[in-house]
């Protein structure tokens, strides 16, 4: 029992630091660049990815004995696409402005390599409970990574956080941070910093 | 008509470049741009698939999904079309041109998960392109992706011997370079 809890804990923590998707795996970068102009959009994107990742990991893991090896990738893609459609329609129905702000990047979650990567590398080989925890761990890892980038860009680009003005009138917004180049520069700098920290350890 | 097509091509290559304006295909962008030759192959393969995808998606969307009121199936259908198409292209190239097949190698199947292609498919109904304009939109976007790959590969080949801080090596440096290139590409915005 103890051993089992230990593996569960390990599976959960793996995605939180050791395997943080955008920084360690270099996966799911499109979304982490495109919608992180504001912290609110980052949060929405991370939660959408979390829903799809958890749903698809559990579904893939539950179906792993019934899916033949040779057609597993198309099956994964259809499962993922179904969950993404649920998210897309949900956002369109309940949060139209948010859905508009993220635009076509919501359907793009289908080709977010993190989700297919976890399905292939973990969920297809492990029991449902472990896969669930693996998905939750990676979702939280993705969440903090996206929030970090979103907060940096919004703070420097608008002087606000989650739409609330934080920096005073003296602050001259760095317009570049909300434009495409700012996304690349921020992610590059954060990644460099992350490497520096993990090197020191 | 001709003017519209030229503007669309120029726009999708330079101004709305998939990599620099929409951040698409970032994963292969970081992965393969350390060599000019592999960038060229990946760029060519992607352009090829995009050119085929655009009109096929247009036909399926207008004659199947819209007609039978199945628009909510768009995402699922498009990704399946792309996966099937990539598979067919792979089989076709393997049979007809083994040399090209060997050059493209692993990049061909990976194109399925390149977000450029799905984004292209999703944009076609949103922007209400016609069959012809969607074809040229596909070609232009593919060429834009290829241009981005080639520029970055050229720079990275030059940088391979440069003395850069160890924690910035690889992906961080590539992203910062991409930021600078994106900045210069913003200058094209006033072109049209």
Contact A64, A103 (CB under 8 A): no
Whether residues A191 and B172 touch (CB distance < 8 A) is answered with: yes
User: Which of B159, B175, B180, B184 should we substitute to test contact with A (largest number of A Cβ atoms within 10 Å)?
Assistant: B175
Å between B163 CA and nearest CA of chain A: 15
DSSP letters spanning A73-104: HHHHHHHHHHHHHHHHHHHHHH-HHHHHHHGG
ipTM of the predicted assembly exceeds 0.85: no
Q: Do the domain assignments include residue B109?
A: yes
Provide the domain count of chain B: 1
pLDDT beyond 70 at B2: yes
Provide the domain count of chain A: 1
Tokens 């635009």 locate to A103
Å between B186 CA and nearest CA of chain A: 9
Print the domain residue range for A120: 2-200
Q: Do the domain assignments include residue B5?
A: no
| Chain B residues touching A27 at Cβ < 8 A | 27
Over residues B28-47, the mean pLDDT reads: 81
Q: How many CB pairs under 8 A join A and B?
A: 120
Strand runs labelled E in chain B: none
Model confidence pLDDT, tens digit, residues B84-138 = 888 888 888 888 878 877 776 666 777 877 888 888 888 888 888 888 899 999 9
Q: Do the domain assignments include residue B70?
A: yes
CA-CA distance, B192 to B3, in Å (whole number)?
Answer: 12
pLDDT of residue A90: 92
Q: What's the whole-model pTM score?
A: 0.84
Contact A134, A123 (CB under 8 A): yes
Give the one of A77, A82, A88 whose C-beta lies nearest to B83's C-beta: A77
CA-CA distance, A73 to B111, in Å (whole number)?
Answer: 14
Model confidence pLDDT, tens digit, residues A132-171 = 988 888 888 888 888 888 888 888 888 888 877 877 778 7
CA-CA distance, B51 to B101, in Å (whole number)?
Answer: 18
Print the domain residue range for B182: 11-190
């Amino acid at each position: 029992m103890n051993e089992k809890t230990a593996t569960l804990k390990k599976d959960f923590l793996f995605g939180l630091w050791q395997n943080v998707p955008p920084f360690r795996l270099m996966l799911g970068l499109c979304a982490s660049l495109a919608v992180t102009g504001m912290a609110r959009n980052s949060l929405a994107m991370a939660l959408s990815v979390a829903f799809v990742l958890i749903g698809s990991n559990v579904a893939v893991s539950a179906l792993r004995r019934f899916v033949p090896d040779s057609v597993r990738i198309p099956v994964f893609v259809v499962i993922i696409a179904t969950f993404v459609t649920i998210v897309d329609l949900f956002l369109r129905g309940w949060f139209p402005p948010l859905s508009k702000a993220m635009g076509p990047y919501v359907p793009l979650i289908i080709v977010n390599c993190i989700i297919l990567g976890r399905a292939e590398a973990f969920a297809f080989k492990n029991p449902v409970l472990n896969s669930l925890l693996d998905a939750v761990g990676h979702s939280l890892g993705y969440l903090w990574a996206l929030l970090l980038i979103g907060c940096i860009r919004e703070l420097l680009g608008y002087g606000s956080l989650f739409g609330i003005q934080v920096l005073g009138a003296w602050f001259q917004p760095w317009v570049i941070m909300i434009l495409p180049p700012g996304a690349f520069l921020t992610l590059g700098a954060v990644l460099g910093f992350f490497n520096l920290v993990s090197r020191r350890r | 008509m001709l003017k519209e097509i030229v503007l669309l091509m120029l726009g999708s290559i330079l101004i709305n470049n998939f990599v620099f304006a929409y951040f698409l295909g970032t994963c292969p962008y970081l992965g393969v741009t350390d060599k000019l030759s592999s960038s060229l192959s990946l760029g060519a393969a992607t352009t090829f698939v995009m050119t085929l995808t655009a009109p096929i998606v247009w036909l399926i969307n207008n004659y199947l999904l819209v007609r039978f009121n199945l628009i909510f199936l768009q995402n699922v259908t498009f990704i399946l079309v792309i996966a099937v198409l990539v598979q067919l292209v792979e089989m076709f190239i393997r049979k007809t041109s083994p040399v090209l097949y060997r050059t493209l190698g692993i990049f061909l199947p990976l194109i399925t998960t390149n977000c450029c292609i799905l984004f292209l498919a999703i944009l076609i109904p949103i922007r209400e392109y016609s069959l012809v304009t969607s074809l040229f939109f596909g070609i232009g976007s593919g060429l834009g992706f290829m241009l981005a790959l080639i520029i970055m590969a050229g720079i990275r080949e030059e940088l391979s011997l440069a003395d850069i801080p160890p924690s910035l090596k690889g992906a961080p440096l590539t992203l910062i370079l991409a930021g600078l290139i994106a900045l210069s590409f913003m200058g094209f915005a006033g072109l049209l």
